[in-house]
Amino acid sequence: MRYPNLFTPLQVGGLTLKNRIISAPNMMSALNPDGSPTEYMVGYYEEKAKGGAAIVTVGDTPVEERGFTTPRHPILDRTTVQKWSEVARAIRQHGAIASLELNHGGRISNEAVTGFTPLGPMDETKANGTRVKAADEEEIQELVDAFANTAALAKMTGYDMVLLHGAHGWLLDQFLSPKWNRRTDRFGGSLENRARFPLMVIDAVRKAVGPRFPIEYRVGLELIEGGLELEDLIAFCRLIEDKVDLIHISAGLDTDPNFAVKTHPTMFLPHMVNIETAAKVKAAVTKCPVAVVGSITSPEEAEYVLSSGKADAVAMTRSLIADPHLPNKARQGRPEDIRPCLRCLDCLTGLQTKTQMACAVNPRTGHEFRLDATEKPAAVKKTVLVVGGGPGGMQAAITAADRGHRVILAEKSDALGGLLKFTDYDTLKSDLKRLKDFLICQVEKRDIEVRLSTEVTPEYVAEVRPDALLIAAGSTPVVFPLPGIETAQHATTAYTDLSALGQSVAVMGGGLVGCETALFLAETGRDVTIIEMQKEIAPEANWMHKVGMMQRFGDTPNLHVKTGLRCMAVTEEGVECRDGDGNTVLIPAESKVYAFGQRAVPVTELLSLDVPEIRVIGDCHLVGKTNGAIFDGYHAAMDL
């Protein structure tokens, strides 16, 4: 077996895990008005169980109404148990353990949603004016009872275990943390006092569910000044190791944007960010296993965590969003077939801003219930000509071939990859490079006729005579007619010959492409300046990606940002700009790079051809990011 440690069973309380892969908690919020799950939620969690995870954890269920932070929280009570039971049943029927995460917002609960003044460890007035009331002894007991009652209800509903969320700035963490808990009674001060409320919750839950029903407890460093640090974290884990069945190590604060990107690491942070903390906890506790979460994105990384003794199990969230079948594919020795996570956080930010779970690389995610009914072999096998070998074209070809069509993939250049070819050079884009390589591998593994160095013209289409034409011709860089612009190079080509770049570089255009190119060049040691005419850089980035990027900017002193400047000319000395007052400003630079955006390749000539089915996908349909191209390619092929 390729990953022997990953597929060794593990005893957790009264249960035996079939492998060491845990689908970590996340909530997709596809809920009915009563807070019960819709069929979409059932399908979402069932897919993870089908994919082979040992535990599938349903995320973020508040234990009482005072604990809500958003109106999109699930509600588990006597009126919704039947529908929540269906989620548990869907998980269990595929051989996975069904777990439910129990949580409470505490000081960050939303009064506008709950109608109650938030309860926390301390009386305080937050920056937004919200008043928080310090929970008194009676209210603390009510909170303890709420955790215990909800755990008992979860067990009755059919869940095999519960996870108590004691990290990320939520209620249990608020009491444990010296940052948030400065009480002077028996619930504050020393670690033993700050741990009193979490220990009361654990003891009450244990009494409610019985001795063999597993309890998992999530805890982690807060990574904020004055927050929970390693010494106290280890000491707390030693207090609970004989009370719980699994300790789950995480980090950061979901309650603060600057630290949420530590909880959900972006592409600007390393992989496996929490394993050294987990290793220290594991060395200190002997009575229960330790799991770790945090950018563990491949079976190779997971195997390393286990084989090196850093933890006893690995928890994954986004990797199992990108490919719920990662465990099964790893067990079968097919890692090349695992669709990689980009760590772009389109999933979480999309849920927050659009109330819809979606994944940049997996068009099925969150929509399994609906798509299962349509993902069938094609009734009529057709000849499909796909124009363009970028991510959209490759995804279209893969999906069409899987449905039984004869597929020809024509690419104008001498290699597949489209605009993603630059990832071969950009060390910041290792996750995106994995996606490019994955798509190329999947094309090569199928009976797809790839024709490189082939320009598709009306005459070529007439020769092939396809039944369907899927046009993924991509986009080309926008080039403003500035004097001297011919001496500059586009962002994606700046990577290919770094020796041609001088020590100082001006990047014209502060969109996401310009910003990430500038960051890469700055990290090669060059002095780089981004020039942007608007007041804001990278407005198209999702907020978590942007926070992560700006933190990396802050760690790169040789990277500078100049906004409110319009580029007027490229000169030998640098880039001549004009500010909002009409003044001329020179940005000195030996080399100049432009990233003014992309323009769709015109395909009008192909759209007018006599082909029964024609679909335009990817950038030549609507210029955007990789996620739009993959979405378009998949659905265009599904419609054939």
pLDDT tier at 197, thresholds 50, 70, 90:
very high
For 261-282, give the DSSP string. HHHTT-TTS-SSTTHHHHHHHH
Residue 4 lies in a domain: no
Q: How far apart are CA 391 and CA 419, in angstroms?
A: 8
For residue 570 the two structure tokens come to 């490229």
* Within-domain flag for 300: yes
Q: What is the pLDDT of residue 179?
A: 96
Beta strands in 341-498, from DSSP E residues, in sequence order = 383-387, 406-410, 448-451, 468-471, 475-477, 489-490
Q: Which of 271, 356, 344 is nearest to 544 (CA)?
A: 344
In terms of domains, do 251 and 130 share one? yes
The separation between CA 92 and the C-alpha centre of its own chain, rounded to angstroms, equals: 25
Q: Find the largest Cα–Cα distance for the chain.
A: 84
Query: Which residue, 371, 391, 420, sits at the end of a domain?
Result: 371
Structural tokens at position 346: 């389109």
Q: In the prediction, which pLDDT does 58 show?
A: 97
CATH of the domain at 20: 3.20.20.70
DSSP 43: H
Among candidates 77, 97, 91, which has minimal Cα distance to 36?
77
Burial class (CB in 10 A: 0-12, 13-18, 19+), 178: middle
- Interacting residues of 160 by C-beta distance below 8 A, sequence separation 6+: 15, 88, 92, 97, 98, 99, 213, 214
Q: What's the N-to-C CA distance of the chain in angstroms? A: 39
Tell me if 61 is assigned to some domain: yes
505: CATH = 3.50.50.60
> Residue 321 pLDDT > 80, yes or no?
yes
Confidence of residue 255 (pLDDT cuts 50, 70, 90): confident
Domain membership of residue 237 as a residue range: 10-371
- pLDDT class of 640 with cuts at 50, 70, 90: very high
509-527: pLDDT as tens digits: 999 999 999 999 999 999 9
Question: Which phi and psi (to 5°) does residue 513 adopt?
Answer: -65, -45
- Residues 458 and 526 placed together within one structural domain of the fold: no
Q: How far is it, in rounded angstroms, from Cα 383 to Cα 465? A: 8
Regarding whether 107 and 206 lie in a shared domain, the answer is yes
The closest of 64, 6, 2, 1 to 35, measured between CA atoms, is 64
What percent of the chain clears pLDDT 90, i.e. is strictly above it? 92
- Asked if the model's pLDDT at residue 354 lies above 80, the reply is no
Tokens of 278: 């987990």
Query: Among candidates 173, 153, 141, 160, which has minimal Cα distance to 74?
Result: 153
The residue assigned the tokens 């993902």 is: 375
Counts of helices then strands in the chain (DSSP H, E): 22, 28
- Chain-centroid distance of CA 113 in Å reads 26
Number of neighbours of residue 590 by Cβ within 10 angstroms:
15
Which residue's structure tokens are 């839950």?
A: 205
**Of the ranges 24-38, 236-250, 315-329, 404-418, which one carries the lowest mean pLDDT score?**
24-38
Structural domain contains residue 408? yes
| Euclidean distance between CA atoms 390 and 492, whole angstroms | 14
Q: Which helix (H) or strand (E) holds 133?
A: strand 131-134
Same domain, 67 and 84: yes
- Radius of gyration of the chain from its Cα atoms, rounded to whole angstroms: 27
User: Considering only CA atoms, which of 101, 102, 86, 6 is closest in space to residue 46?
Assistant: 86
Q: Is the pLDDT of residue 355 over 80?
A: no
Q: Please check the confidence at residue 145 and state whether its pLDDT lies above 90.
A: yes
Alpha carbon of residue 565 to chain centroid: 34
Taking 80 as the threshold, does the pLDDT of residue 113 lie above it?
A: yes
Amino acid, res. 621: H
Asked whether residue 537 is domain-assigned, the answer is yes
| Cβ neighbourhood burial of 569 (10 Å; 0-12, 13-18, 19+) | middle
Same domain, 519 and 464: no
**Element (DSSP H or E) covering residue 61:** strand 55-62
Q: Are residues 403 and 441 in the same domain?
A: yes
Domain count, the chain: 3
DSSP single-letter state for residue 376: -
Whether residues 320 and 173 fall in one domain: yes
Number of other CB atoms surrounding residue 550 within 10 Å = 17
pLDDT-derived band at 410, boundaries 50, 70, 90: very high
Q: Picking from 12-16, 404-408, 497-501, 591-595, which range would have the lowest pLDDT averaged per residue?
A: 497-501
365 in the same domain as 235:
yes
* 376 domain-assigned: no
Could you tell me if residue 3 is inside a domain?
Answer: no
Judge if 117 and 248 occupy the same domain: yes
For 505, phi then psi, to 5°, come to -135, 135
Q: Is the pLDDT of residue 299 over 80?
A: yes
How much of the chain exceeds pLDDT 70, in percent? 100
What pLDDT shows up at residue 621?
86
Residues 418-434, mean pLDDT to the nearest whole number: 93
pLDDT at 378: 94
Boundary (domain end) residue, out of 322, 351, 371: 371
Average pLDDT, the chain: 96
Whether residue 42 is found in the same domain as residue 114: yes
Q: Is the pLDDT of residue 353 over 80?
A: no
Q: Which residues contact 52 (CB under 8 A, 6 or more apart)?
A: 19, 21, 96, 325, 326, 327, 328, 331
Q: How far apart are CA 40 and CA 37, in angstroms?
A: 8
Minimum mean pLDDT range among 102-106, 221-225, 369-373: 369-373
635 has pLDDT over 80: yes
Whether the Cβ atoms of residue 544 and residue 345 lie closer than 8 Å to each other: yes
Q: How confident is the model at residue 144 (pLDDT cuts 50, 70, 90)?
A: very high
Q: What is the mean pLDDT of residues 340-365?
A: 89
Q: What's the rounded Cα separation, in Å, for the pair 313 and 306?
A: 7
Instruction: Confirm whether 2 is domain-assigned.
Output: no
Q: Of 387, 381, 445, 417, which is closest to residue 615 (Cα–Cα)?
A: 387
CATH number for 416: 3.40.50.720
Q: In this model, does residue 29 exceed pLDDT 90?
A: no
Nearest-angstrom CA–CA distance, 215 and 243: 8
Examine the fold and report which residue of 371, 398, 421 is the final residue of a domain before the chain moves on: 371
Strands (E) in 194-346, as ranges, are: 215-221, 246-251, 290-292, 313-316
Each residue's pLDDT tens digit, 448-485:
999 999 999 999 999 999 999 999 999 999 999 999 99
Are 194 and 46 part of one and the same domain?
Answer: yes
Q: Are residues 161 and 60 in the same domain?
A: yes
